[in-house]
Structure 1
């Protein structure tokens, strides 16, 4: 019997980013589910099974921090990593206050995302 794969939920409004992250993370043995916007997260059937959330900051409707705040208000405290094109110290502070474990700046170089996911999953 094989061990269950760690399930990650990736949330990004850019389809190319979503699909490339899914491809790269699945190559590393992770199970990846996708959401195209922040509102989809709350209703996604895999949310209860996710071990980590990778979420884009800048999305229409709800941004990544608003999604994290919404999850926390519902009692869902799964580890989260915020990805953004422009990581400022103010954004890092807001993300930490919302419960993000890390803020990573795009483009995601090397194994920075994978390393952050592994650290987040180990921490919970």
Structure 2
């Protein structure tokens, strides 16, 4: 599978973060869809085609761990990377227990996010 065909969905309530992640990941050759809340993710028209989801942990209605748990309850096992401004050991443990493959600390500098996505979905 080529990177151009790889859909990544980004869920973040902050429009500036959503758009900057979309822009940078598209520059890296990924196809990116964005959602402003977990509830929007569940009705995204391309959710079933997604190869990875990037979810902000701190969101108003449904936090990132709750979103991830709901995805798992729906039977969706796609790799999930959680992003946060405050990664603690307890938060990382909760995220991994919920099924996250990684928890990344903001700001996401360099190629840390695309590298993590590729590792998660095992792209060449």
What TM-score range do you get, normalising by the shorter chain?
A: over 0.9
Judged with a 3 Å threshold, the aligned counterparts in structure 2 of structure 1 residues 4 and 21 are, in CA distance, closer, same or farther, namely: closer
Q: 2:18 matched to 1:18?
A: yes
CA distance in 2, matches of 1:106, 1:51: 22
After superposition, give the CA deviation of every residue in 1:19-55 in whole Å (9 maximum; x if it has no partner). Answer: 0000000001100000001111111111100000000
- Is the Cα contact below 8 Å between 2:4 and 2:30 reproduced in 1? no
Alignment match, 2:108: 108
- Structure 1: segments with no counterpart, 5+ residues: none
Displaced runs of 4 or more, over 6 A: none
Deviation of 1:4 (Å):
5.1
CA-to-aligned-CA distance 1:88-118 (integer Å, 9 cap, x gap): 0000000001110000000001111011000
Distance 1:47 1:17 in 2: 20
User: Which residue is 1:94 aligned to?
Assistant: 94
Deviations 1:2-22 (CA, angstroms, capped at 9, x unpaired): 885200000000000000000
Q: CA RMSD in A?
A: 1.4
The number of aligned residues is 122
CA distance in 1, matches of 2:109, 2:25: 13
Give 5+ residue unaligned stretches, structure 2: none
TM-score (norm 2): 0.95
| TM-score normalised by L of structure 1 | 0.95
